[in-house]
Amino acid sequence: MDVNSTLFQRVQPTFIQPQSFDLALEGEKEPLYAGATADVHFLLVNHGSSGMFTFTATDDASMVQSVSPTSVTLQPTANTTGYIRFAAPSAAAVGTTSTATLAVSGPGGSSNSLVVRITVEPQIVVTVDDVSPTCTIVGATGNCTLEQQHPSACSSHHWSIDVQVRDGESGVYSLTASPEGSDVTFNHATFSPGTVGTNIAATYSSTCCTPRGTVTVADKQGNIAQCIINYYIPTTTPEPTTSQPTTTPQPTTSQPTQVPPTTESLTTTGTGPPTVLEGDSPDDQSLGAPQIALVASAAVVAVGLLTGLGVALHCMKKPSVKPSAVPT
């Protein structure tokens, strides 16, 4: 009975048969770029009897390159995975879409199909630039001596450097100089940020009041290079030397030399009893150096006096000689 409650009878055998296996996409589709390939994966699960399954794929943009597997034998409840490989021509426009049909034939005349659509996408190429630009000093004029750097004279003396910068990767992005000041001038050729493969000239000049400077170039990825000039001459005053205090040696106290007492008596060659000097008695146990010197001096004087006295007495006792007449 149809929707109008009219009876009908089928005169041809049924064209629709219940399927004994499932077919579905598996995972994410790979992106397809012009001049490249991409795979779209599928999954087949067998719910019927054991048998062979065959796979074919076609599309409307002639981008289907292959299907894998082309056939497989599965046991009941077993499953398999495969893929359709798409290849986009290098001239394929972004947005071109391929509509493909995957057809699968199973045992007993069973069949199933799956529609797959894939589109050519724009390819975003990310270039990693880890190469620094270059900065080269091509000329320098002037100089700054120590005298020229003196605050009273530095403004009258000038210097300058000419540099060239270049980047061959992401391009020159900025060009700066330091330090800045009223006596500093920095000029460079006009360029657009991202300039690649072109030499860019720059000049940095100053007086000797600013005797050093730096030119810095950076590319779009943040890599930098520098040209540095430095005429600065430090003036250093030697640190005062700290004199060490003079140490006056302390006087040393000489200990008196102990001289053993002498028992020798000094005698003269004259007549009379021997003269014993004071301090020669055995009762005196020691004499100091001054005392010994005094005793020795007194002895010498005494000997001298006695010797002189002996000579005088000898002269007085010498008999006088009368002259005798000489016979004629």
The mean-pLDDT minimum among 37-41, 200-204, 225-229, 295-299 falls in 295-299
User: pLDDT at position 4, please?
Assistant: 75
User: Average model confidence (pLDDT) for the chain?
Assistant: 79
State yes or no: pLDDT of 322 exceeds 70. Answer: no
pLDDT at residue 235, as a whole number:
73
pLDDT > 70: what percent of the chain?
67
Please name the residue that has the structure tokens 């000029």: 187
Return the pLDDT at 3.
66
Instruction: Express each pLDDT in 216-257 by its tens digit.
Output: 999 999 999 999 999 998 875 444 455 555 555 555 444 544
Residue type, 303: V
CATH class, range 21-119: mainly beta
Residue 14 has what pLDDT?
53
CA 100 to chain centre: 60
Task: Find out whether 170 and 214 touch, Cβ atoms under 8 Å.
Answer: no
Average pLDDT estimate for 186-194 = 95
Give 40-84 pLDDT, tens digit per residue. Answer: 999 999 998 899 999 999 999 999 999 999 999 999 999 999 999
Q: How far is residue 203's CA from residue 180's CA, in Å, rounded to a whole number?
A: 13
Residues in contact with 228: Cβ distance below 8 Å, sequence separation at least 6, in sequence order:
212, 213, 214
pLDDT > 90 fraction of the chain, expressed in percent and rounded: 59
Report domain extents, the chain: 21-119, 134-230
Q: Answer whether 21-119 and 134-230 agree in fold.
A: yes
Instruction: Kindly report the number of other CB atoms within 10 A of residue 160's CB atom.
Output: 15
pTM of the model: 0.43
pLDDT at 272: 42
Question: In this structure, which topology does domain 134-230 adopt according to CATH?
Answer: Immunoglobulin-like (2.60.40)
Q: From the CB of residue 169, how many other CB atoms can be counted at a distance below 10 Å?
A: 17
pLDDT given for residue 1 in this prediction: 57
Residue 138: pLDDT above 80?
A: yes
Q: For residue 256, what are the contacts with CB-CB under 8 A and spacing of at least 6?
A: 288, 289
Residues 6+ apart with CB under 8 A from 72: 44, 52, 53, 55, 80, 82
